[in-house]
A = this chain, B = another copy of it.
């Protein structure tokens, strides 16, 4: 019976001079975690690894205080895989969520998401297959389970950068195989920001290749004005226009805006997603859903969300998970979602392990067992130092 013998967290700084319409990232952090099993492979213990999403800070403190002790104190029989070797991520999820009250889906959803992701990575390695393949077995439905559409996300507001910053960024991404792009919006007065956006549309080769991310920065006072200002442009989508919990305002926007609206990255649970579907006015064959798998209790909860979506008439292709971490890439491919976001220049989130490729806007994942996180340029040394 596989036993989890240790669980290590290391908090990594993601400090940068970036800003979106909501926050700046000067003190941003993220957690790298390693789940150590007692399974030996090539003379070393097999480990599951995971790396945080971005935007809600690391989860080390909460992991140390509450979830790691709960995991390490659990008898291996409580999370054993009943169908074969290794562990069952679903049973392990229930172990770490014991005695957690309903509601309040905030930081703990991100802490549990890291444990969940490490568990899936470990189990994929135990079964000696890439995560996308394991996910395709567990949640069948993808037509090309090692492949997904990918778009380049960027266009933050940076100090000392002109209005043509996003345009230049997009031009660089074009050289690297990307065909669709997203930039931040709403951080400047409308007229000024529109100049920036028009230049970006130009670089993207048309509005249908560009999306705008408002990072929940609009309010009752200006959301309608903003969407009216861009609605003639036939953008790919506009993302998170308003506060993630303001379903009423979102529903008004969905009613008024003819194009696609994308949201959900700051809703961290099945229960919150259900409310978005019930009250947000989202249109199943038009709008997009960005729940962040890592920040929302991981793949076990995401499976529940996919069942909910199916029951409500939504296709998996409406899902483009937030943040562009490698976990999402495997999920987008292996679960047959609508695509994957990536920040190509980011030293951590923009990196893929060897064997992956981005060609004509399609990401193809390689065959390294697990997620391959510890084989990416940005995380290799971080995980090596944890494991040494």
The chain A residues found within 8 Å of chain B, CB to CB, are: 11, 22-28, 55-58, 60-62, 64-66, 70, 99-109, 215-216, 243-248, 266-269, 271-272, 274-275, 278-279, 295
CB of A247 within 8 A of CB of B266, answer no
Choice from B11, B99, B104, B275 contacting A107 with Cβ under 8 Å: B104
Provided the pairs A62-B61, A65-B61 are in contact, do residues A104 and B105 lie with their beta carbons within 8 angstroms?
yes
Task: List chain B residues, Cβ under 8 A from A28.
Answer: 99
CB of A102 within 8 A of CB of B244, answer yes
Task: List chain B residues, Cβ under 8 A from A26.
Answer: 99
* Shortest distance from the beta carbon of A86 to any chain B beta carbon, whole Å: 27
CB of B104 within 8 A of CB of A24, answer no
Smallest CB gap from A242: residue in B: B102
Smallest CB gap from A64: residue in B: B61
Task: List chain B residues, Cβ under 8 A from A58.
Answer: 65
Choice from B65, B99, B100, B216 contacting A103 with Cβ under 8 Å: B216
CB of A245 within 8 A of CB of B271, answer yes
CB of A102 within 8 A of CB of B243, answer yes
Complex Cα distance, B246 from A29, in Å, reads 32
11 contacts between A and B (CB under 8 A): A57-B65, A61-B61, A101-B266, A103-B216, A103-B244, A103-B266, A105-B106, A106-B109, A107-B107, A245-B269, A247-B278
CB of B243 within 8 A of CB of A103, answer yes
Complex Cα distance, B109 from A268, in Å, reads 15
Complex Cα distance, B64 from A279, in Å, reads 37
Shortest beta-carbon contacts, A-B, top 6: A106-B106, A61-B61, A103-B266, A103-B244, A245-B271, A61-B65
Smallest CB gap from A266: residue in B: B103
CB of B104 within 8 A of CB of A109, answer yes
Smallest CB gap from A99: residue in B: B23
**Among A25, A61, A70, A216, which residue has the most Cβ atoms of chain B within 10 A?**
A61
* Shortest distance from the beta carbon of A76 to any chain B beta carbon, whole Å: 20
* Shortest distance from the beta carbon of A272 to any chain B beta carbon, whole Å: 6
**Among A58, A103, A109, which residue has the most Cβ atoms of chain B within 10 A?**
A103
CB of A60 within 8 A of CB of B55, answer no
Complex Cα distance, B23 from A105, in Å, reads 16
CB of B101 within 8 A of CB of A216, answer yes
**Among A55, A60, A101, which residue has the most Cβ atoms of chain B within 10 A?**
A101
Complex Cα distance, B374 from A288, in Å, reads 51
* Shortest distance from the beta carbon of A14 to any chain B beta carbon, whole Å: 12
Task: List chain B residues, Cβ under 8 A from A100.
Answer: 23
Smallest CB gap from A100: residue in B: B23
